[in-house]
Structure 1
């Protein structure tokens, strides 16, 4: 038998895998073309990829939430296990938010997605390969970067943490959890209330964009991404190929609603909207008073005098299930 066409890296503790992993394992048992490696902690991903590199798969499929994907991308970037030619990466729909999987057209049942990927691996993958730029985040200028594709900050990060710690434990479906979080956010902004059962007010931030000036203030949403799709928009605008896209929405209900409508109409980043800032850059630094930032599920803090710096990382090939 030749080398496996697919290497599947699974995180059994990912939220979606609690219910799906037995089905995933059963499918892998039926298909010797799949080399399945399971990890339970992020620290094990390096050893996993070192082993996977030895079997030289045609495709690397990640079965976990955005945090698992982020940890794997970081190890691919920093570990050098695959040399200069890592296999194209596919992501199964899993976890709570699945922004990366959604961007690659993977939605619905992860078993169905894996079966489709198995079919694609039987033939030429080229028509399904897309390049994606990555974000390299550094808190320490001398340390290894953390690699991801979507960073949320300011009120967005605080609201994501609020949803994670206050809403998800209620055991509600994801869609309802996210809707309740949005209602709580709008309620807090409209009535200017402070309460434990509502998301906190965002702290002051300073954002510097290379060759693009500086933003300063309180923002209900701050997002930096290389994804084509975002929370508020089916597709982001902009003209710079591969550059990081920054969206910052001022802490006012009117600005958030205008951004929401612009996103629904597909105009976010294309038309100028009052209170909404859109920039494209190769380098962005964020500084604040212990302000939370979340890169694909992992939390960081921007502090005064020690900014978090984002730069473009070298692109990586991904397998897109939707039509290219």
Structure 2
């Protein structure tokens, strides 16, 4: 099968064995093995793949790399001719690969795609699209977005003193545990519980307002370790953007957290006014603080407004 591979040597797992993989992949793929040194170069490479009509792109990196490549593809390819994607889990976080990618990585994943690519399963999915309606920024595609307390926790998890001692997945977990632990201390507790002002305008005309302790949204249909902090009437995980908003000073927070970490949403949680979850094709968020897409921080712009919606449909090759 003819395909190109975009390799991120700076991804956490690739820093360990990326040179060996690069030698093997270059021998196998030749000039279809691409190692961009910057976002601009990666965008130029994807634009060249579009001109060459390459219909399958493999990505060897983490969630941030996948988000970068999908965004570049949406800008370079025609909407009706998007390439299929094959994702190898080699980054700090690999939420996307766990849902839509390969379980293997490195040369094992590459050889599997090279030899069996035509017959491997395909799943079609629309990523989450973020647009800045009044800032003039280009839309960005991704799979997992977070605002308010989630963005604050990611900022701490990305600090050198945390990442130095733990892989990113563990660092985020340690950070979140530390954040909940800080609720025991009065000064830190009020900072976290107060949250940030957030308004959510849903496509049905309804609005969720007030301060938010935590906001999450995703186009994925499963997360690591069975965690699933979303629910919907009817409970089917189908199309649309899943979201969860936890209001400021949420009651029964520890009990709710334990339930959602196990992928459960008991009836009392669904009816609690401090917790709102659903699925929408489009929503407008207004919040002055930064937000996160697949591990990367972004500013909402001067007016604090971003639009979360379904992006273009991609095909994902997986094992």
Deviation at 1:154, TM superposition (A): 1.0
Whether the 8 Å contact between 1:232 and 1:260 is mirrored in structure 2 is no
Which residue in 2 is equivalent to 1:282? 281
Report the 3-state secondary structure (helix = DSSP H, G, I; strand = E; otherwise coil) of the residue aligned with 2:96. Answer: helix
Whether 1:22 aligns to 2:16 is no
The 3 A distance-change label for structure 1 pair 31 and 305 is closer
Which residue in 1 is equivalent to 2:311? 313
Report the 3-state secondary structure (helix = DSSP H, G, I; strand = E; otherwise coil) of the residue aligned with 2:37. Answer: coil
Whether the 8 Å contact between 1:217 and 1:250 is mirrored in structure 2 is yes
Deviation at 1:199, TM superposition (A): 7.4
TM-superposition CA deviations, 1:251-272 (whole Å, max 9, x none): 4372354144134144489971
Which residue in 2 is equivalent to 1:103? 99
Whether the 8 Å contact between 1:244 and 1:281 is mirrored in structure 2 is yes
Deviates more, 1:168-177 or 1:267-276: 267-276
The 3 A distance-change label for structure 1 pair 21 and 79 is same
Which residue in 2 is equivalent to 1:191? 185
> How many Å separate the matches in 1 of 2:90 and 2:279?
29
Count of aligned positions: 311
The 3 A distance-change label for structure 1 pair 12 and 269 is farther
RMSD: 3.1
The 3 A distance-change label for structure 1 pair 136 and 265 is closer
TM-superposition CA deviations, 1:159-186 (whole Å, max 9, x none): 0111002544433334542332122111
Q: TM-score normalised to the size of structure 1?
A: 0.83
Which residue in 2 is equivalent to 1:86? 82
Whether the 8 Å contact between 1:259 and 1:268 is mirrored in structure 2 is no
Unaligned runs of 5+ in 1: none
Which residue in 1 is equivalent to 2:66? 69
Whether the 8 Å contact between 1:207 and 1:285 is mirrored in structure 2 is yes
2:35 to 23, 26, 38: 38
TM-superposition CA deviations, 1:108-144 (whole Å, max 9, x none): 64333333323331x334xx11111122211244543
Which residue in 2 is equivalent to 1:206? 199
2:149 to 144, 155, 161: 155
Deviation at 1:305, TM superposition (A): 4.0
> How many Å separate the matches in 1 of 2:164 and 2:255?
27
Whether the 8 Å contact between 2:193 and 2:213 is mirrored in structure 1 is no
2:270 to 260, 269, 272: 272
Whether the 8 Å contact between 1:205 and 1:291 is mirrored in structure 2 is no
Whether the 8 Å contact between 1:287 and 1:303 is mirrored in structure 2 is no
Unaligned runs of 5+ in 2: none
Deviation at 1:72, TM superposition (A): 1.0
Whether the 8 Å contact between 1:189 and 1:253 is mirrored in structure 2 is no
Which residue in 2 is equivalent to 1:11? 8
The 3 A distance-change label for structure 1 pair 43 and 269 is farther
Deviation at 1:73, TM superposition (A): 0.7
TM-superposition CA deviations, 1:57-83 (whole Å, max 9, x none): 452111122222111111111222x66
Q: TM-score normalised to the size of structure 2?
A: 0.84
